Structure formats: C-alpha cells, structure tokens
Amino acid sequence: MRKLPFCIFIGLLLTFSGALVGAESQPFLQQTLETVSKELAEAHSENRLTKAGIKKMRSEAKAAKAAAAKRVRVIKRKIIKQEQELERLALEQHGLEKKSRVALHQLNELAGVVRVSARDLLSLLENSPVSGDEPGRFKPVRDLLAENAYPGMSEIKLVADLYLDEILKSGEIKRSKNHFIGLDGQRVQGEIVRFGALSTIYQSSSDNSCGYAVYGPENDALLAVSKPGWRVGRSLKKFIAGESAAVYLDFSGGDAVRRLALTPSSWERLRSGGVLVWPILLVGLVALFFSLERFFFLSRVKSNTDRVMGKIIELVGVGDFSQSLELVENKKGPVFKVLAAGLAARKATRDVLESVLEEAILKELPRLERFLPTLQVLAAIAPLLGLLGTVTGMINTFQVITVYGAGDPRMMSGGISEALVTTKLGLTVAIPIILLHTWFARRVDVIIGDMEEKSVSLSIALKNSDVNG
C-alpha cells in the first residue's frame, strides 16, 4: 500500500525520461520497466495480502468483540446474581445479628438471674450453720461472683445443687465432734449439735461449758457467741447428755444469739458511765439502807388501834385506871405510848392533860420521821448527779469533735455513753426513792392522825370519868 504511489511516480518519470533520452537508453529503460513492473506486481500482491489480513483481522476483531460482549453479558448476569445473593446474605446477616442480639440479651438476663441467685445463695450459706460442717463450702459461689467470671451450665448446676443440699440439710439434726472457736478466740474441740438451719449448740471438751454457736464466714468455722444463763445452760447440758428431749432454740436464724452476744453486761454499762456512776450508786445504797430501816420500823407500828381504844374507854368509864394503864403499857407503838402518857396524867387539869398528850405526840414524831428528810435530799441529789454526768459526757464529746472531727461516730461514743448512762442511772435511783419517801410520809401521816385521834378520845373519856366520879 505504501509502495504504490512511489511506483506510479517512478513509471511516469521513466516515461517522460524515455521520451527525452531516446533510443540510446532503451535497454536500460527496458530493465527499469521490468523492475518497476515487478515491484508493481509485488506491491499489488502485498496489497492483496494486506487487505486479506485486514479483513481477517476485522473478522477476528468482530468475533473477539462478539465473544467479549457475550462474556460481558455473562459477567453482568453473574454480577446481578451475586448482587442479589449479596442482598439476600445482607438481609440474612441482619436477621442473624438481630437474633444474636436477642440471644445475647437473653443470655445476659440468664447470667444476671444466675448471679442474683448465686449472691442470695452466698448470703444464705454465710449465715447457715450447715456451712460449719463443710469448710470451703461457698468458695465456688464466690468464684462465680468474680468480676471476670461468666456462668455456664456447670455453674448453674452447682448453684442448684447447693440450694438442694441446703434444703436437705436444713431439715436434719446432726450431732458431731468438731472444732469451733471459743469465747476466748481459741480453737477448741467439743460436742456440737446442729438443729437444721435454726440453731447450733456446743459443749466444750475442756471446761464442759455450753452455749450457742453461729457460723463465721470470715473464719470459715463455728463461733461460740454467747454463754447463756444458768437455767438455759443447764437445759443445754441435759440435752447434749441425752437426759432431756427439751432444748431452747433460736428461731431467728442466729440473729437473737448474735444480739445477745453484742448486748453489753450490766458491769460494762456501768463502766461506760464514767466516774459519776459511783456517787450515784452510793446514793442508791444509802437510800436503800434507810428505806429498809423505815420499812421494818413502820411495818411494826400498828395503825388500827380502834379495838384497843374501845376497851380502854370502857375501863376508864368504870374507873379502872390501873388495868387500862397495864393494857396500854403491854402494847408497843407510838399510839399506846401517847395513851400511856395521858393515863399517867389523868389527875391533871384539862389544859395540862392536853399539853401532856401533845408533848407525847411531839416526842414520837422524830422516831416516826427519822431519815425521811434524808431520803428526800437523796432523791434530789441522784438526778442532779445524772445531769452532771450528762454535761460532762457532752463536754468530752465536743472535745473529741474538736480534735478528731465528726467523721467517725465511734470516737464520740464514749462521751455519749457517759452522758446517757449517768442520766439513766440517776433517774433509776431517784424515782424509787421518791416513791418510797412518799409512801413512808403517808404512813407517818396516818400514824400521827391516829395518835391525835386517840389522844382526843382519851381526853374526852377522862373528862367524862371525872364528871361521873
């Protein structure tokens, strides 16, 4: 294709050159023409081959294009199918994610329920006396409640088994020889009887002491928490020895026993009141001594003297003064002493007789009113001492607050205890003293009234006797 214009140009050039050169150049021209013809033939042949190649290439290109278009259509169909499959998988993935979230939420709820049950179980086991028979019983439950722990089927089965075990052992009475921690904090051995999950009693092998015990999770052992009174302790010893079937139980699950152990004794309460407790107790002891003396004295004084007085009036009316005086002198009491003084002065004038009777009454008053003013003073002193203890305790409390602040209430408990105990003790001592003083004063008033009444009756009887005589 590229040589054809050049050959035509060469042929035209040779044609014009032949006309110019002439006959002399005929052989050379002939040769040149043959060469040109040959080149021209080759050019035509090459042109045909080139066209055939182009045609073939075009046909191959068309075939390749068609094949490529077919492959593109196939790939597009595959892409569409894959896009549809991808959409389906995306929807399925969304559904699975939703189901997974629901399942995870349910699983977390189940894990929460298991943890709550395990926490309740741990509290139950820590307060159950059954755990004293099996050290390390609730350790798996504590491991389950750890921060990085997640409950599985084995842990759920463990919680259920421990609940069932607690239910079964809560209904049995078990006697065993085991170690426990005594009241002195030392580990001792003894006889232990557990009544289900209600109470546990013990008897020490060293000193045969009996009492109640509770399970201490900190020590993972039974703790002796209280020494009961004589009557309860005797009942516990009889039950452990097999001599009795009755025993005192704590149906509060150990709360009453723990409270009994935390309750301070009377001596500890008094010591917490400070120094002023002792003056208040001294006031109470002195008042008790005086009250007992007055009680025994006044209880021997007879206030119902009407029957004797009637007989004396009869004897005086008939003039038998010696027998009436003998009757009065054989009786004991302030009333009869006043009557005896009046009978002894029966021959005196009326004014003298009344003065003698009044003097006899006044003579008996000091013996009747003995220690009553003292009791009244003691009744006033006791609450004042309690009030003084209250003021002292509050001063100590404020001093502690000044030094240490009010962050720790235990630092202030000493002053508050002193304030409350002294006040309580002062009132406890003062109230009975006031009541006793009131009763004694009323009793003395009754006796004084009886003396005055009988002295007037005797005076009238003696006057009538003089008139009749």
Mean pLDDT of the chain: 78
Indicate whether 68 belongs to any domain: yes
**Looking at the structure, do residues 345 and 246 belong to the same domain, yes or no?**
no
Indicate whether 248 belongs to any domain: yes
Which pLDDT band, with edges at 50, 70 and 90, does 467 fall under? Answer: very low
The yes-or-no verdict on residue 30 having pLDDT over 80 is no
Give pTM, 2 decimals.
0.50
Residues whose CB is less than 8 angstroms from the CB of residue 199 and which lie 6 or more positions away in sequence, other chains included: 129, 212, 249, 250, 251, 254, 257
**Looking at the structure, do residues 365 and 447 belong to the same domain, yes or no?**
yes
Task: Write out pLDDT tens, residues 273-300.
Answer: 677 888 888 999 999 999 999 888 888 7
The yes-or-no verdict on residue 469 having pLDDT over 50 is no
Q: Give the integer Cα–Cα distance in Å for 335 and 304.
A: 10
Q: Which of 58, 78, 104 is the last residue of a domain?
A: 104
Task: Write out pLDDT tens, residues 364-402.
Answer: 888 888 889 999 999 999 899 888 888 887 777 777 667
Tally of domains within the chain? 3
Maximum Cα–Cα distance across the chain: 233
* Tokens standing for residue 398: 């404020």
**Looking at the structure, do residues 234 and 379 belong to the same domain, yes or no?**
no
Can you list the pairs that 108-114 forms with residues at least 24 positions away whose Cβ atoms lie under 8 Å? 110/151, 111/150, 111/151, 114/144, 114/151, 114/155, 114/156, 114/159
**Looking at the structure, do residues 209 and 256 belong to the same domain, yes or no?**
yes
Indicate whether 309 belongs to any domain: yes
Indicate whether 327 belongs to any domain: yes
Task: Write out pLDDT tens, residues 135-153.
Answer: 777 788 888 888 777 777 8
CB atoms within 10 A of CB 164: 10
Indicate whether 128 belongs to any domain: no
Query: Which one-letter amino acid corresponds to residue 24?
Result: E
Give the residue numbers spanning the domain of 209. Answer: 172-263
Q: Which of 67, 83, 104 is the last residue of a domain?
A: 104
Indicate whether 294 belongs to any domain: yes
Which residue is it, tokens 């009132």? 427
**Looking at the structure, do residues 79 and 216 belong to the same domain, yes or no?**
no
Which residue is it, tokens 């630092």? 411
Q: Which of 71, 104, 137 is the last residue of a domain?
A: 104
Any bridge partners for residue 204, and if so which? 190
Indicate whether 382 belongs to any domain: yes
**Looking at the structure, do residues 215 and 282 belong to the same domain, yes or no?**
no
- Among the ranges given (154-158, 211-215, 243-247, 411-415), the one the predictor scored with the smallest mean pLDDT: 411-415
Residues whose CB is less than 8 angstroms from the CB of residue 455 and which lie 6 or more positions away in sequence, other chains included: 338, 339, 342, 357, 358, 360, 361
Indicate whether 313 belongs to any domain: yes
Q: H/E element holding 271?
A: helix 266-271
Say if residues 129 and 145 touch (Cβ distance below 8 Å).
no
**Looking at the structure, do residues 259 and 282 belong to the same domain, yes or no?**
no
**Looking at the structure, do residues 404 and 256 belong to the same domain, yes or no?**
no
**Looking at the structure, do residues 281 and 428 belong to the same domain, yes or no?**
yes
E strand residue ranges, 205-254: 210-216, 221-226
